[in-house]
Amino acid sequence: MRISVLGTGYVGLVTGAALAHLGNQVVCHDIDRERIDLLRAGRLPFYEPHLDEVVQPARRRGNLIFVSGEFALLNEADVIFICVGTPSLPGGKGIDLRFVRAAATQIGEILEPGRRRVVVNKSTVPLGSRCWVETLVKEVLHRRGRRREMELATVSNPEFLREGSAVYDVFFPDRIVIGTEDEWAVETLHELYRPIIERSFTPPASLAAAPSGQFSPVPFLWVSPAGAELIKYAANAFLATKISFINEIANICEVLGADVREVATGLGLDRRIGPEFLAAGVGWGGSCFGKDLNGLMADARAYGYEPALLRAVFDLNYRQRMVVVKKLQNLLKTLRGMVIAVYGLSFKPQTDDLRDAPSLDVIKKLVSLGALVRVFDPVATGAFRRLCPDPEVKVCHDPDELVEGADGLVIVTEWPQVKELDWERVANRMRRKIIVDGRNVLAGGGLEQYGFAYQGVGIPVRPG
Ligand code: UGA
């Protein structure tokens, strides 16, 4: 099929590249010309494992092209995906839909009658936005006198990609959700996604094998537009709730003397609960959970419902970020003048994304307490320098520089490299051998043999 994708962020670029890999003719649009120039030059605007191996072959074959401002090409498409950003408005006052509005208007300005088109909204949006997009497009078409002849369906098709494994998730989704009233649009999208649904495509070579049960088709769920929009919000809210829940249990474990890892294992073996998203620590971050919880809460409140549980999930998460600072204060007492090394900046491993990263709040608090903060991250130091040019914070080039003369080391992101560190070497370089592990990645790793005082989250401290 001929596909147009508006927006080349995580969702747009990964979706566009995957659809090109499946043999479709894909045009990716972005209003950011620099980003498009970068993509045309064969480079990616962000770090995402495996994406390059999907983008570059398709680009060279010529079925994945990048354009800026050439909106006339929208008219060639059978399916147009809206994948633009939907940031939070300041002060948690809902979602900024300016980019979705611009995309819908552009579509209405360009489309000419002649064949059926499906407009798919993949951006995460407040409830009712699919209808809002449809109305916007149709209003512009009406103004141009094209509305009557146009065969157009608008669909909500939320994405469930995780940063860091977005390419895997797009090829091997747990489900595909389509929200529309138009059956022909459902048929068109079923046809577009058929290789993924039937798992009949050849995946990019470097991607891990398909999940077990790979021969069963991917569930394809046709629901109402409101249902599809709420499935997206509810999925993220539930995942955030699961993490905040285990963090609350971890905090209770600390006061009662139990180990949250044992509790999580026992909980996760109940199939109704499941083992994933039960890793306690400094809490969730990233561009989605906070924004989507805020969006859902704003929608609920606008219709007179106070979302008490979601509010608690949200508050607990931001409080949780401070647990590592409190542990340092307990161990080192006054932090003023102490050298604190922070390992991990990105909101999770395998990405350089710093949006709503717990590290930012931890660093800010440490600086405010007068600590001399040093930071290191395997991929996100460049992004961090651009975001926080604070001279109080020293950005280090390697783990050796990070820990040299440090009074405490805090792990904020569970990069696998952390486990590989040479702990004898680290112990020899630090001034005080204190590790506070905000992700419990080093628990049980025998750090005590190098003389470290180690504290995780929700793990009892052995009486020394
Ligand atoms: C999340 C969802 O997992 C995706 O399904 C969804 O499509 C995406 O948001 C989105 O709406 O775009 P993502 O934000 O990329 O994906 O990251 P996750 O892997 O969900 O992790 C989010 C945060 O939770 C990270 O900070 C991670 O460290 C934290 N986390 C995760 C925990 O603290 N404990 C866990 O057990 C799991």
Output the pLDDT for position 389: 80
| CA 372/CA 391 separation, integer angstroms | 10
Domain count, the chain: 3
| 222 falls within a domain | no
pLDDT band (50, 70, 90) for residue 212: low
| 227 falls within a domain | no
- Return the residue whose CA atom lies nearest to atom 7 of ligand 1: 160
pLDDT tens across 155-164, in order? Answer: 999 999 998 8
288 is catalytic: yes
Residue 238 predicted with pLDDT over 60: yes
| 221 falls within a domain | no
| 463 falls within a domain | no
Residue 79 predicted with pLDDT over 70: yes
- HEC sequence for 328-394: HHHHHCCCCCCEEEEECCCCCCCCCCCCCCHHHHHHHHHHHCCCEEEEECCCCHHHHHHHCCCCCEE
Are the C-beta atoms of residues 268 and 274 closer than 8 Å to each other?
Answer: yes
Residue 440 predicted with pLDDT over 70: yes
Mutate to test the pocket of ligand 1, among 13, 46, 162 (most ligand atoms within 8 A of CB): 162
- Return the residue whose CA atom lies nearest to atom 35 of ligand 1: 277
Tell me what the mean pLDDT of segment 139-147 comes to: 93
If asked whether residues 344 and 313 sit together in one domain, one would say no
| CA 224/CA 203 separation, integer angstroms | 31
Nearest atom of ligand 1 to the alpha carbon of 160: 7
Q: How much distance in Å is there from the Cα of 159 to the middle of ligand 1? A: 13
Specify the higher pLDDT residue, 450 or 214.
450
Q: How much distance in Å is there from the Cα of 62 to the middle of ligand 1? A: 33
Tell me what the mean pLDDT of segment 67-93 comes to: 90
If asked whether residues 29 and 157 sit together in one domain, one would say yes
Half-sphere exposure of 53 (CA within 13 A, CB side): 10
Q: Of the candidates 289, 318, 347, which is a domain's last residue? A: 318
Residue 91 predicted with pLDDT over 80: no
Output the pLDDT for position 88: 83
Q: What is the CATH number of the domain that holds 103?
A: 3.40.50.720
If asked whether residues 148 and 285 sit together in one domain, one would say no
| 91 falls within a domain | yes
| 278 falls within a domain | yes
Q: Of the candidates 143, 178, 209, which is a domain's last residue? A: 209
pLDDT tens across 252-268, in order? Answer: 999 999 999 999 999 99
Nearest atom of ligand 1 to the alpha carbon of 353: 15
Q: Of the candidates 263, 294, 318, which is a domain's last residue? A: 318
Tell me what the mean pLDDT of segment 100-121 comes to: 95
| 460 falls within a domain | no
pLDDT band (50, 70, 90) for residue 89: confident
Tell me what the mean pLDDT of segment 81-110 comes to: 90
pLDDT band (50, 70, 90) for residue 445: confident
What domain range includes position 352? 321-455
Choosing from 28, 253, 288, 396, the catalytic residue is: 288
If asked whether residues 313 and 360 sit together in one domain, one would say no
If asked whether residues 243 and 193 sit together in one domain, one would say no
| CA 218/CA 173 separation, integer angstroms | 7
Q: Which amino acid is at 19?
A: L
Tell me what the mean pLDDT of segment 54-69 comes to: 96
pLDDT tens across 269-311, in order? Answer: 999 999 999 999 999 999 999 999 999 999 999 999 999 999 9
Among 111-115, 180-184, 206-210, where is mean pLDDT lowest?
206-210
If asked whether residues 274 and 172 sit together in one domain, one would say no
Output the pLDDT for position 210: 64
**Tokens standing for 382?**
């460049």
Q: What is the CATH number of the domain that holds 290?
A: 1.10.1040.10
- Indicate the DSSP class of residue 88: B
If asked whether residues 299 and 382 sit together in one domain, one would say no
From edge to edge, which strands make up the β-sheet containing 79-82? 64-67, 25-29, 2-6, 79-82, 117-121, 152-156, 176-179, 220-223
Which protein residues are within 6 Å of ligand 1, measured from CB?
Answer: 124, 159-163, 236, 239, 243, 277-279, 281, 283-286, 288-289, 347-348
If asked whether residues 110 and 185 sit together in one domain, one would say yes
- Return the residue whose CA atom lies nearest to atom 37 of ligand 1: 277
If asked whether residues 241 and 204 sit together in one domain, one would say no
If asked whether residues 158 and 132 sit together in one domain, one would say yes
CA dihedral sign, ordered 388, 391, 392, 393: positive
If asked whether residues 198 and 259 sit together in one domain, one would say no
- Indicate the DSSP class of residue 413: S
Nearest atom of ligand 1 to the alpha carbon of 240: 24
| 219 falls within a domain | no
Tell me what the mean pLDDT of segment 440-452 comes to: 93
Tell me what the mean pLDDT of segment 213-231 comes to: 89
Residue 209 predicted with pLDDT over 70: no
If asked whether residues 41 and 57 sit together in one domain, one would say yes
Residue 207 predicted with pLDDT over 90: no
Among 146-150, 209-213, 227-231, where is mean pLDDT lowest?
209-213
How buried is residue 2: exposed, middle or buried, by Cβ count under 10 Å (0-12/13-18/19+)?
middle
Output the pLDDT for position 213: 57
Neighbour count for residue 183 (Cβ, 10 Å):
10
Output the pLDDT for position 135: 94
> pTM value?
0.93
Q: What are phi and psi of 4, to 5 degrees?
A: -115, 140
